[in-house]
């Protein structure tokens, strides 16, 4: 079957755990993660306006679109399905959560990791021109 049992029942094998985690983020609302992004960047002296600018750059959404997605609880899957990914997004590279962004095979997961990487760069104080691959 996979994995070993514990007092709570069978445990999923690592591959199954990965797929459970991946599917969970796909169905998670962007609005539920957004406050964590905001806290991360504000803790490092960046602003909500800068965070929103980075998200809009990646997704092609305008201010009203982004606000609507956050207010309606859009899932990451639907959020990126409706996005017009910036052509420069493919230049985003580096490691997020121990995984190289450019080596993520699933297109949706790669887009989520692009967003994570941009938020990380913003929080690290990188210049906006560099974050936006100008």
- Among residues 59, 69, 52, the alpha carbon closest in space to that of 128 is found at 52
The predicted-structure confidence for 47-81, as pLDDT tens digits, reads as follows 999 999 999 999 999 999 999 999 999 999 999 99
- H or E stretch covering 32: helix 30-43
The predicted-structure confidence for 120-134, as pLDDT tens digits, reads as follows 999 999 999 999 998
Q: State the pLDDT confidence band at 1, using cuts at 50, 70 and 90.
A: very low
Q: What is the CATH T-level fold of the domain 13-131, as seen in this structure? A: Helicase, Ruva Protein; domain 3 (1.10.8)
| All structural domains of the chain with their residue ranges | 13-131
The predicted-structure confidence for 12-32, as pLDDT tens digits, reads as follows 455 445 555 557 889 999 999
Rounded to two decimals, what is the model's pTM? 0.82
Record the tokens describing residue 17, joined without a space: 């755990």
Q: Summarize the confidence of residues 94-113 as an average pLDDT.
A: 92
């Amino acid at each position: 079957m996979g994995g070993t049992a514990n007092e709570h029942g069978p445990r999923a094998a690592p591959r199954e755990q990965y797929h459970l985690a991946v599917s969970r983020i796909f169905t998670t609302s962007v609005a539920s993660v957004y406050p964590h992004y905001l806290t991360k960047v504000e803790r490092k002296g960046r602003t909500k306006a800068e965070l929103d600018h980075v998200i809009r750059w990646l997704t092609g959404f305008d201010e009203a679109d982004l606000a609507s997605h956050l207010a309606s609880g859009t899932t990451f899957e639907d959020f990126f399905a409706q996005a017009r990914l910036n052509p420069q997004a493919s230049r985003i590279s580096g490691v997020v959560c121990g995984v190289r962004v450019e080596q993520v095979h699933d297109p949706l997961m790669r887009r989520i990791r692009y967003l994570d990487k941009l938020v990380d760069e913003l929080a690290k104080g990188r210049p906006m021109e560099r974050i936006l691959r100008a």
